[in-house]
Amino acid sequence: MERTLVIIKPDAVQRGLVGEIISRLERRGLKIVAMKMMQISRELAAKHYGVHVGKPFYEGLVQYITSSPVVVLAVESKKAIEVVRNTIGATNPVQASPGTIRADLALEIGRNLIHGSDGPETAAFELGLFFSPDEIVSWKRGTDSWIHE
């Protein structure tokens, strides 16, 4: 099984879309192994977006992600990173495939509702930023055999 980080961003929280987004992830078959609502500090945002330091959009990213509470999740599945990314849709909602979270619920790249790690190394790094090992719960879901072969 693979784990990845999902951040339900400030615009989704403010718009009351947290439940719908979580529902879509769970209906897809992803298992939540950690979840919390939090206010991201500027320090944590700087670590999370560190790869973008020096880019013209960096400061806007930090201001946005710290502007309101978020909901962070660790989810687990076979190919969890790919499954999450495909469920979320393209970064620009206008280019996202119909049926994805961003295509169905967002309009602009700067208000695209949700973040998902883009690879195994990024997922491990990001999960470590937002969750301590004791916050991630390994558990057996009764429906797993109906989701995974």
Each of the 149 residues of the chain gets a pLDDT tens digit; together they read: 999 999 999 999 999 999 999 999 999 999 999 999 999 999 999 999 998 999 999 999 999 999 999 999 999 999 999 999 999 999 999 999 999 999 999 999 999 999 999 999 999 999 999 999 999 999 999 999 999 98
Whole-prediction pTM value?
A: 0.94
Q: Report if residue 149 sits inside a domain.
A: no
Domain of residue 122 covers 2-134
Q: Report if residue 144 sits inside a domain.
A: no
Rg (CA), the chain: 15
Mean pLDDT of the chain: 96
Alpha helix positions (H), the chain: 10-14, 18-28, 42-48, 58-65, 80-88, 101-105, 120-130, 144-147
How far apart are the C-alpha atoms of 18 and 22, rounded to whole Å?
6
Residue of 48, 52, 115, 148 with catalytic role: 115
Q: Report if residue 143 sits inside a domain.
A: no
Would residue 52 show up in a list of annotated catalytic residues for this protein?
Answer: no
Q: What is the CATH number of the domain that holds 95?
A: 3.30.70.141
